Amino acid sequence: MLSYWEQQSFVRYNHIVIGAGIVGLSTAIELKEKYPAQSVLVLERGLLPTGASSRNAGFACMGSLTEILDDSQYTNEDEIVKLYNWRKRGLELLRQRLGDTAIGYKTNGSYELIGEDELTALEKMDYINNLLQPVTKQPAFRLVNDKIDAFGFGKQAVKALVENTCEGELHTGKMLRALTDFALMKGVEIKTGAEACRFDEEETQVVVQVADPIRENMLLLHCDTLFICTNAFTKQLLPDVDVVPGRGQVLITEPINGLKFKGVYHFDKGYYYFREIDGRVLLGGGRNLDFEGEATTDIALTDLIQKDLEEKLRTVILPDTDFKIAQRWAGIMAFGETKQPIVKAFSNRVYGAFRMGGMGVALGSDVARHLVSLNRDF
């Protein structure tokens, strides 16, 4: 039951965006910049974004050498370059829009640890560099084995070190806070704790059903166009899309005296990633140990992966160094048959951008720009 005042002022919008992560907020900003006089509402089912936008590792990530080589087994060269370029444009737009200071963007170095079984990847480094040259304008990868000892990594596990010259790092919390503030400054309305349960497209509008924790009935919101930016949770609204959730488990240590490295790092085809932050080591990954079990939207931790992450700390990253775990958490990413994100007009009134493949920080801003460009004016 709504009041007259609520019906007059709170249920009708020009555009509704579902999802307040990087893609959703960026989509709302793009809509406001394209249609400054029109109303834009963002709905977020949690008090904070539920997926990975506020729960990632803070990598301004373009993709590591072994990850790109692994992708090349399932896609063609044009698609590899297209996706790399998309990530590059997205990061540039994010930095331009918010500023490096606001998002804590730094270039402390980005590297990939190469194990014994991956040494053959070095033979293809020149090939990948040449392939990406039109985008990067410089070698994307270079060998820097002289830094292995200085960083203190386990010599039995790390046989080579590759620098990723086009990557940086950022502070996930600052980035999402700045993106939220920017959207609010633009006049975007954001409602958290508002779960969009379904939508119905009609001839002249889209009706979105939102769970109301106070009223027993669904709250019906009306809009001209609907933008679905729910990444791993998209099947709840679009059950036929090719989206498979992928949980990413993370831990972070207490501060470590005399930590020998800064920057961000990958290993094992990007399935593991770690970085220095505030004198601590943040480490995540390991879903390749249990693909089936980690294909879930359950934000939880498992002993299998948490113990494996601790073992990687002891043997690969911090050998002969005492450490204590300060926090653990998980985020939910989205994957599919290819690494290409889905950016699509499902009708003249319903649009969607999701399946970021764990690269939402890089992809999100440019994906949102492309999504809004598909919108048909009414």
| The predicted structure's pLDDT at residue 195 | 95
In this structure, is residue 95 part of a structural domain? no
pLDDT the model gives residue 215: 78
Position 315: which residue type? T
Q: Are residues 278 and 288 in the same domain?
A: yes
Residue 154 and residue 248 share a domain: yes
Instruction: Note down the domain range covering 248.
Output: 107-166+244-335
Average pLDDT over residues 151-162: 94
State mean pLDDT over 68-89.
93
pLDDT band at 226 (very low <50, low <70, confident <90, very high): very high
Residues 287 and 271 both lie in one domain: yes
Q: Is residue 60 part of a domain?
A: no
- Torsion, CA 179, CA 182, CA 186, CA 190, rounded to 10: 50
pLDDT tens-place string over residues 4-60: 998 899 999 999 999 999 999 999 999 999 999 999 999 999 888 877 888 999 999
Residue 74 lies in a domain: no
C-alpha 311 chain-centroid distance: 26
Average pLDDT, the chain: 95
One domain, residues 49 and 111 = no
Residues 148 and 22 in one domain: no
Under the banding of pLDDT at 50, 70 and 90, the label for residue 193 is: very high
- Domain total of the chain: 2
Domain annotation covers residue 378:
no
Dist CA 321 CA 333 (whole Å): 31
CA angle 175, 181, 185 (to 5 degrees): 145
Domain-located, residue 282: yes
Closest by alpha carbon to 87, among 373, 282, 357, 372? 357
Same domain, 158 and 210: no
Q: At 211, is the pLDDT very low, low, confident or very high (cuts 50, 70, 90)?
A: very high
Burial 116-143 (b: 16+ CB within 10 A, else e): eebeebbebbeebbebbeebbeebbbee
Per-state percent for the chain, helix, strand, coil, to nearest 5? 35, 25, 35
CATH code where residue 150 lies: 3.30.9.10
Question: Do both 135 and 181 map to the same domain?
Answer: no
Cα distance between residue 51 and residue 356, in whole Å = 11
Query: CATH no. for residue 15?
Result: 3.50.50.60
**Pair of tokens at residue 76:** 């063609």
Assign residue 99 a region: left if phi > 0, alpha if psi is -120 to 50, beta otherwise? left
Instruction: Kindly state the tokens that stand for 376.
Output: 């048909």
CA distances from 9 to 5, 39, 172, 205, 334 (A): 6, 11, 34, 17, 35
The predicted pLDDT at position 50 comes to: 77
**344 shares its domain with 231:** yes
Same domain for 366 and 229 = yes
Please, what sign has the CA dihedral across residues 209, 211, 212, 215? positive
DSSP string, 176-202: HHHHHHHHHHHT-EEEES--EEEEEE-
Q: For the residues 187-211, what does the mean pLDDT come to?
A: 96
Does the global pTM surpass 0.85?
Answer: yes
* pLDDT score for 47: 86
pLDDT at 2: 86
Is there a single domain that holds both residue 183 and residue 329?
no
Specify whether the backbone of 215 is left (phi greater than 0), alpha (psi in -120 to 50) or beta. beta
Q: Which run of H or of E encompasses 86?
A: helix 77-98
Residue 179 and residue 43 in one domain: yes
Strand boundaries in 101-188, DSSP class E: 110-114, 141-143, 160-164, 168-169
pLDDT band at 320, cuts 50/70/90? Answer: confident
